[in-house]
Amino acid sequence: MNTKDIPSGAELLQSHIFNKGTAFTPEERQKFKIDALLPPCVNTIEEQAERFMSLFHEKPTNIEKYAFITSLLELNLTLYTRVLVDNLEEMMPIVYTPTVGDACMQYSHIYRKPQGIFLNANQKGRFVELLAQWETKDVRVIVVTDGERILGLGDLGAQGMGIPVGKLSLYAACAGINLQNCLPITIDVGTNNTEFLNDPRYIGLKQPRIRGEAYDALLEEFVTAVETVFPDVLLQFEDFANINAFPLLNRYRDRLCSFNDDIQGTACVSLAGLQAAMRMKNESITDQTILFLGAGSAGTGIGELIVSAMAAEGLPKEEGYTRCWFVDSKGLIVKSRDNLADHKLPFASEHEYLPDFKSALHSLKPTMIVGVSGQPGVFDQEVLAAMAEYNERPVIFALSNPTSKAECTAHDAYTWTEGRAIFASGSPFDPVTIGDRTFLPGQGNNAYVFPGIGLGVIAVKASRVPEEMFLVAAKALAEQTSNEDFAVGRLYPSWQQIREISLNIAVAVAELAYEKDLARVPRPDDLKAFVQSQMFTPEYEDYA
């Protein structure tokens, strides 16, 4: 590091990139003229982290814990990352689901300092200039949202910024991507949330959302600006509504290095869970009948990747589509229905129309049900008991976030299937004891996959993120679930191994990039060692 880039005096203590707080050595304090601005003690980063966690545990509510950890993000990136890495299982529900949902709902009321870039519709024509205002030019990952479909909470407008911030925190904690190289962005095109429009403290544009050609032109300017200012970046689209998510993915996936986490990341972690379940049941994915509740971007994204995985095992794609059934708000998706959205058409089957999920369940008798509906409790006792009747080991995925939106709880899934369910959820649940057996529910969280995918992409500077990357990532994750995990009902490995998990996924992604001639760095002799060398370890640098 060139110490000429480091500010001095009080400005240094305000820089979350360079600030080390009480860890500055006496030599550094004198060199940068901060020796009178700090108490005389000199702490290690371990001591600072311990002090932070003791104060963190004193906070009485999760939202106060969120605000406290966010204040550290604004003060000291290295220490923030260290705290996350050392306490990931405890911090995950705070910096991301479910607490981040509550934080986004209250974002205008708890907002203190900018953590990313806000672009808004009134700044059209200036996006290149505005992106260039960011504090560093070495940006390798951008997570962007327009705030319209935040988790299962809907249109939160500018308050959706908590999602890109949280996602990038997981890139850092899970895969060692330095937060200095990460940029959260919210594109504010207005909101249709009347509560926010009437809230005097709402921080976003107080106008209805723009649609149609005006919206498309704004996003085109944004993507062009990203290509201009950060040409080697990985762009992750996050929490866009279905009407925009699919068109944006299709428009830009072959133009720049980009993906949609709600469509492709959710699909990847879900496929990994299904593949692990097949190992647990000693069955083939090609023999499954899967019924989805919810046919938005997440659900059909999962379906498409499952069809691709079935094709990889020899089942023709046309037949794979017939193994995946969808129920949306109007009933079973069948060919006789009119005005189906484009992303639903491949799954429209030759079957009689059925009006709701339960009638479809009893007719199709699926081996697996997947909830991506945001409808809490819809997998009720009737649904779960029926799955247990139709299957010795029913596979139940209740993936809606946050926890309050889950289609069923882990307790209900295990109780109403007599402990025979193979269960995964989108948000965390506590252990469940049925008789003499205790289950540790598996959380199908995208954080298992997108950080590793991102690490592999940026390590070799892949020019694109093709669909095959999500197949190899899912396989790499599923292979890391152990028999010990299966013994407690868990479809995913322990979070304690997440950096190794992410590394293995990254290597699989990087291998594919070289196979597809997408990598823009020479292939190293030892690919795993090379990728691992790209992972940031949260330790302080010596500025003296």
Q: Phi first, then psi: give them for residue 150, nearest 5 degrees.
A: -80, 115
243 and 156 within one domain? yes
Q: Are residues 399 and 467 in the same domain?
A: no
Residue 490 lies in a domain: yes
Distance CA 252, CA 273 (A): 28
pLDDT computed for residue 56 by the predictor:
98
Asked if residue 7 belongs to a domain, the reply is no
Question: How many residues are present in the chain?
Answer: 544
Q: Confirm if 125 and 167 have CB atoms less than 8 A apart.
A: no
Q: Is 111 part of a structural domain of the chain? A: yes
State whether 522 and 459 are in the same domain.
yes
Residue 440 lies in a domain: yes
Angle, helices 467-478/266-281, rounded to nearest 10 degrees: 40
| Residue 487 tokens, joined | 């013994």
Distance of alpha carbon 155 from alpha carbon 238, whole angstroms: 13
Burial label for 118, CB within 10 Å (0-12, 13-18, 19+), is middle
Q: Are residues 475 and 394 in the same domain?
A: no
Q: Which tens digit of pLDDT belongs to each residue from 201-216?
A: 999 999 999 999 999 9
pLDDT of residue 1: 58
Element (H, E) at 509: helix 498-515
Evaluate whether 425 touches 398 at the Cβ level (below 8 Å).
Answer: yes
Q: Is residue 462 part of a domain?
A: yes
CA distances from 147 to 22, 68, 215 (A): 37, 23, 14
Q: Hunting for tokens 């870039």 — which residue is that?
A: 117
From the CB of residue 533, how many other CB atoms can be counted at a distance below 10 Å? 10
Same domain, 246 and 291: no
**What is the pLDDT at residue 428?**
85
The answer to whether residue 31 sits within a structural domain is no
Choose among 306, 225, 229, 319: nearest CA to 471. 306
Burial class (CB within 10 angstroms; exposed 0-12, middle 13-18, buried 19+) of 474: buried
Token digits for 530?
Answer: 């090379």
Q: Mean pLDDT across the stretch 252-270?
A: 96
Residue 408: φ, ψ to 5°:
-160, 160
Query: How high is the pLDDT of residue 283?
Result: 97
Q: What is the pLDDT of residues 465-476, one digit of tens each?
A: 999 999 999 999
Report the C-alpha gap between 11 and 178 in whole angstroms.
22
Beta carbons within 8 Å of 131's beta carbon, 6+ residues apart: 117, 225, 226, 228, 229, 230
| Domain's final residue, options 256, 275, 306 | 256
Rounded (5°) CA angle 356-359-364: 120
Residue 456: which pLDDT band, with cuts at 50, 70 and 90? very high
Tokens of 127: 């996006």
Compute the distance between CA of residue 162 and CA of residue 369 in angstroms, rounded to an integer: 30
What is the pLDDT at residue 114? 84
Q: Are residues 116 and 177 in the same domain?
A: yes
Catalytic residues: 96, 167
At how many degrees (to 10) do helices 297-312 and 467-478 cross?
A: 80
CATH number of the domain encompassing residue 127: 3.40.50.10380
Q: Compute the distance between CA of residue 375 and CA of residue 408 in angstroms, rounded to an integer.
A: 9
Which residue, among 452, 457, 459, 410, has the nearest Cα to 431 in the 3D structure? Answer: 410
| Predicted local confidence at residue 289, as pLDDT | 98
Place of tokens 């939160």: 156
> Using an 8 Å Cβ cutoff, are 292 and 370 in contact?
yes
Mean pLDDT across 279-291: 97
Rounded CA-CA distance 220/505 in Å is: 31
514 contact partners, CB below 8 Å, separation of at least 6: 460, 523, 527
Q: What is the pLDDT of residue 40?
A: 96
pLDDT digits (tens, 9 = 90+) for 142-185: 999 999 999 889 999 999 999 999 999 999 999 999 999 999 99
- Model pLDDT for residues 12-30, shown as the tens digit of each residue: 999 999 999 999 999 999 9
**Per-residue pLDDT at 2:** 62
Asked if 231 and 324 sit in the same domain, the reply is no
Residue 36 vs residues 10, 40, 51, 535, 542: alpha-carbon distances, Å = 10, 9, 22, 35, 20
Q: Helix/strand/coil (H, E, C) string of 388-417?
A: HHHCCCCEEEECCCCHHHCCCCHHHHHHCC
pLDDT, tens digit (0-9, with 9 covering 90-100), for 491-512:
999 999 999 999 999 999 999 9
Q: What's the order of all strands across the beta sheet hosting 141-145?
A: 117-120, 182-188, 141-145, 234-237, 258-260
Does residue 301 form part of some domain?
A: yes
Please tell me the distance from the alpha carbon of residue 123 to that of residue 121, in angstroms, as a whole number.
5
- 329 pLDDT higher than 80: yes
Whether the per-residue pLDDT at 4 is higher than 80: the answer is no
How far out from the chain centre does Cα 298 lie? 12
Q: How far is CA 457 from the centre of its chain?
A: 16
- Is 369 in the same domain as 237? no
Same domain, 51 and 119: yes
- pTM, two decimals, is 0.94
Question: Do residue 319 and residue 350 come from a single domain?
Answer: yes
| φ/ψ (deg, to 5) at 250 | -65, -30
pLDDT at 266 over 70: yes
Provide the domain count of the chain.
Answer: 3
Contact 310, 326 (CB under 8 A): no
Q: What percentage of the chain has pLDDT greater than the value 90? A: 93
- Mean pLDDT of all residues in the chain? 96
Q: Is 373 a residue whose pLDDT tops 70? A: yes
Prior bond to 93 cis, omega within 30? no
Inside any domain, residue 35? no
**What pLDDT score does 401 carry?**
83
Residue 440 has a CB neighbour count (10 Å cut-off) of 16
- pLDDT of 337 higher than 90: yes
Residues 412 and 492 both lie in one domain: no
d(CA 70, CA 135): 18
Please determine, for residue 51, whether its predicted confidence score (pLDDT) is greater than 80: yes
Residue 334 per-residue DSSP state? B
pLDDT of the residue at 5? 85
Write down which residue in 380, 415, 446 finishes a domain. Answer: 446
- Section 48-75 average pLDDT: 97
Judged against a pLDDT cut of 70, whether residue 309 lies above it is answered with yes
What's the rounded Cα separation, in Å, for the pair 406 and 377? Answer: 7
SS3 content of the chain, % helix, strand, coil (to 5): 50, 10, 40
The reported pLDDT for the residue numbered 187 is 98
Token pair for 360:
């479809």
Sorted by sequence, the CB contacts under 8 Å of residue 524 that are 6+ apart come out as 530
The pLDDT score that the predictor gives to residue 297 is: 86
Domain that holds residue 197: 44-256
Burial of 127 from C-beta contacts in 10 A (0-12 / 13-18 / 19+): buried
Residue where a domain terminates, one of 256, 288, 311 = 256
196 and 147 in a single domain? The answer is yes
